[in-house]
Structure 1
Amino acid sequence: MQTSVLDSRYSWGRLALSLLIGLIGNVGMWVVIMVMPDIQAEFDLERAEASYPYVWTMVGFALGNYLIGLLVDRYGIVRVLSGMSLVMAAGFALAAVTPTFFIVSVLHLLIGLGTAASFGPLIADISLWFERRRGIAIAIIASANYLSGAFWPVVLSGHLASDGWRGVYMVLALIIAVSVPPLTLLLRRRLPLSEMSAAVAQGAAAGGIGGLSPRQIALILGVAGIACCVAMAMPQVHIVALCVDLGFGPAVGAEMLSLMLLGGVASRLISGLLADQLGGIPTLLIGSALQMLALFLYLPFDGLVSLYVVSTIFGLAQGGIVPSYAVIVRELMPAKEAGRWVGFVMMSTIVGMAFGGWLSGVIYDISGSYQLAFWNGIVWNLGNIFIITYIFLSARRERQTAQA
């Protein structure tokens, strides 16, 4: 009898390699946050204007998660991931030598597109190689995004202080171009046809929720993803700028961001274990409720020690939210369309991050502080909880009807 490759030693080895690629490839999402104060100072910008490179990055990241997911479903992960890593390296190199802020901002679209290949498409790819431990596997590969955010700001902070944001971008262009394409060649093995056929049959057997089609489920999840990530963006995007405003400096802000993201890694791993036991929908609902509670903690505290503590708590609260969406997609939709629908839902969460990052900057410019921006995040988070509660109750009624 042929041994299944799912949950095998090869699956875990592939997961480890994908984690390394994600650690490198996700840098594009985080370095733009780190350099935002320097870009604002160099071009003499308002806070909302200084957020434009981040917005362009997240637009590229959002589009890339969906469009690149379609390409991966058709051509496989290797060629697509290699090509997009070179696109990202080109974006960094060109931005580093461009004197015009508008062009610098637009070039972040390339950085976002390249970064996207190391997030949603990698999550979708690794989800195909696991069945019993799919939740924790997705959580681990999704943690590459946060590990990247915790690792690179600390590593690059000294280089940023000495050579500026342009020097940091040139170094990253070189690192990405020489490391990611060779590593992707080790992912050439494709899922056996027999395993894919079984996964397709399993996905077809999943009843979905309320008789909704995969497209309708994805749209509902997409709206929920936007809502939760508008809330998530406030601390993640603006924590460095908040620390600069309070007089603590960008290095302290980078440390808080790293603590937040390390807490997010722990949260993602715990959520992965929960998802294997409870399912993706209850795990997402728990994470969304905890994130809203953590946002409330930012309102009364602005001291140095308290912000370190609250940022860590926020990371521990919200880290498991995004990978839970991928688990839900794999529970409710066909495996052969994993790249498309995981990519679409990841795209929606990134749209929420981009919009939330920009909106928080606008609210800051109008009000002169981040207090209203935190309240804005809380309201959006409450909307996410309503949507996920609807999905949870609909799925439970579907199960009860099937049992009856």
Structure 2
Amino acid sequence: MTPMSDAPSRYRWVVVAIAAAMLAIAMGQLVNGLSAFFSPLEQEFGWGRGDIAFINTAGLVGISLGGIFMGFAADRLNIRLVVLLGAAMTSGSMIAASWAAELWQLYAIFFVAGALGGGALFAPLFALVGGWFRTGAGLAIGIVAAGQAIGQGGIPFANAILIDALGWRGALLALGVFSLVSLVPLALLVRKPEPAPAAVGRAIAEPSPSIPLPHVVVLMSAAVLFCCSLMSVPLMHLVPLIQGCGVPAPEAGSVVFVMMIAAIFGRVAFGRLSDMIGAVPAYLAASAWQTALVFVFTTIDDLGLFYLFAPIYGFGYAGVMTGVLTSIRALTPAESRAGATGIILAFAWAGHGLGGYLGGLFFDLSGTYVLTFAVAVGAGVVNLVLVTTLFLMVRKGTRQAMPALVQVAG
């Protein structure tokens, strides 16, 4: 009989729930929560959509740069302190944004929110969850990613309702206060994984990555730059695209909410798929899904069809982030995983920011979203080439490693 001390700690599922809730609240604000603010900011200040989209870009650039530093910090410092910093800065930044009067102020505030808020939460929390699970990590990461999807659907929808009721300043203030009273208590419950007993650690130790860490970081960084450039286009511009068809803001926001509800199931499903067929093949499948379908949004002008198509797209698109995270876990050693995650995700967030900004810029130049979504497809094709290359390298490295593994086992 296995000693009780050798059994996996039940607290690992508490950590999964904490990470899912924190990322739902924080990343729902920082990734695409601004999408509901395009119209009110455009109407009040006369700013172009490219200018408004760059607020979100500033936040994502902040996450990308802060994530590198905070990822390395999480490898070396008390993870609870890192996450507490992220909780406090995310909340405080939303409250500060409610008082902004100039465009540059929103750029600065969202950059700080990304660097010290989202950057201290995203990579550290996903690396933490991966560390709690020696087996079945794909499902756990998928559940946390599903929590983030809830936020990315629910926050823009809630923002649209809050803006109607309180105005855009009141909506930001309410969001900041809610974040403060929810994120800080959750952060206090975060803790590092318990060390495994020596016998168990030897029995189910993580396999060694099959390709060198620098190769993984370079190739995955390039891939996520392009895949997230595609991903950000519907996240940031689907609401204004639907509003352009004469649909009111709450209904337009609800389409994104429906898409992200499907994404909840997609992230869990692709997490489980990565446990079954491998992380990189699951990542490749999800990338192909979003690349093939994203342009269809520009061919729809009926609210009912948006409701029908959005969850189809959302289920597969959602697997991309799960695939990225499970691939990082599978291909990086545990002792440097948070740092590697921070570097790779820096390029992911840079891609999010780039795609969102260019989407607004192309709309300002052309007056439609056709060019925006077409460029997104091109970025997706480049990502597919890079992920296929990674898959072939992993397969080659695994074949070369098998004789050595058999020899060791013998």
- TM-score category of the 2 structures, normalised to the smaller one: over 0.9
4+ runs deviating over 6 angstroms: none
Structure 1 residue aligned with 2:217: 218
Measured in 2, the distance between the counterparts of 1:4 and 1:346 equals 35
Structure 1 residue aligned with 2:136: 133
Deviation at 1:49, TM superposition (A): 1.0
Measured in 1, the distance between the counterparts of 2:179 and 2:363 equals 34
1:124 aligns with 2:127: yes
1:75 aligns with 2:74: no
Task: Report the TM-score when normalising by structure 1.
Answer: 0.92
Structure 1 residue aligned with 2:161: 158
1:85 aligns with 2:84: no
What whole-Å deviation, never above 9, does each CA across 1:13-60 have from its counterpart, x for those lacking one? 221222222222223223212212212222101111111211111111
Deviation at 1:284, TM superposition (A): 0.4
Measured in 1, the distance between the counterparts of 2:197 and 2:336 equals 16
What whole-Å deviation, never above 9, does each CA across 1:52-98 have from its counterpart, x for those lacking one? 21111111122232221111111132111111211122211221112
Structure 1 residue aligned with 2:194: 191
What whole-Å deviation, never above 9, does each CA across 1:150-197 have from its counterpart, x for those lacking one? 2223334332112211111111221222222222222235432757x9
Letter of the aligned partner of 2:302 in structure 1?
G
Structure 2 residue aligned with 1:34: 36
Measured in 2, the distance between the counterparts of 1:154 and 1:4 equals 45
Q: Counterparts in 2 of 1:181-260, with a 5 A limit?
A: 181-192=184-195, 198=201, 202=205, 206-209=208-211, 213-260=212-259
User: Could you say what secondary structure the match of 1:161 adopts?
Assistant: helix
Contact 1:5–1:11, Cα closer than 8 Å, also in 2: no
Structure 2 residue aligned with 1:327: 326
Measured in 2, the distance between the counterparts of 1:289 and 1:116 equals 28
Contact 2:134–2:205, Cα closer than 8 Å, also in 1: no
Contact 1:208–1:214, Cα closer than 8 Å, also in 2: no
Structure 2 residue aligned with 1:24: 25
Letter of the aligned partner of 1:11 in structure 2?
R
Structure 2 residue aligned with 1:100: 102
Contact 2:126–2:325, Cα closer than 8 Å, also in 1: yes
Contact 1:27–1:115, Cα closer than 8 Å, also in 2: no
Structure 1 unaligned blocks of 5 or more: none
Number of residue pairs the alignment of both structures matches: 399
Moved more, 154-163 or 331-340: 154-163
Q: Counterparts in 2 of 1:275-290, with a 5 A limit?
A: 275-290=274-289
Going from structure 1 to structure 2, the CA distance change for 1:183 and 1:403 (only over 3 Å counts) comes to closer
Contact 2:146–2:264, Cα closer than 8 Å, also in 1: yes
Letter of the aligned partner of 1:96 in structure 2?
S
User: Could you say what secondary structure the match of 1:319 adopts?
Assistant: helix
Q: Pick from 64, 74, 78: which aligns with 1:62?
A: 64
1:174 aligns with 2:177: yes
Deviation at 1:116, TM superposition (A): 3.2
Going from structure 1 to structure 2, the CA distance change for 1:399 and 1:83 (only over 3 Å counts) comes to closer
Measured in 2, the distance between the counterparts of 1:193 and 1:273 equals 24
Structure 2 unaligned blocks of 5 or more: 404-410
What whole-Å deviation, never above 9, does each CA across 1:311-348 have from its counterpart, x for those lacking one? 22211111011121221122121101111112222222
Contact 1:322–1:346, Cα closer than 8 Å, also in 2: no
Measured in 1, the distance between the counterparts of 2:137 and 2:380 equals 27
Measured in 2, the distance between the counterparts of 1:243 and 1:399 equals 46
Moved more, 289-298 or 266-275: 289-298
Measured in 2, the distance between the counterparts of 1:160 and 1:62 equals 28
Measured in 2, the distance between the counterparts of 1:347 and 1:6 equals 35
Contact 2:156–2:253, Cα closer than 8 Å, also in 1: yes
Going from structure 1 to structure 2, the CA distance change for 1:299 and 1:188 (only over 3 Å counts) comes to closer
Structure 2 residue aligned with 1:311: 310
Task: Report the TM-score when normalising by structure 2.
Answer: 0.91
RMSD: 2.2
Measured in 1, the distance between the counterparts of 2:331 and 2:386 equals 16
Measured in 1, the distance between the counterparts of 2:393 and 2:374 equals 29
Structure 1 residue aligned with 2:339: 340
Identity %: 25
Measured in 1, the distance between the counterparts of 2:124 and 2:151 equals 17
Measured in 2, the distance between the counterparts of 1:377 and 1:266 equals 24
Contact 1:294–1:310, Cα closer than 8 Å, also in 2: no
What whole-Å deviation, never above 9, does each CA across 1:103-125 have from its counterpart, x for those lacking one? 12221112223133332211110
Contact 1:208–1:333, Cα closer than 8 Å, also in 2: no
Measured in 1, the distance between the counterparts of 2:351 and 2:7 equals 33
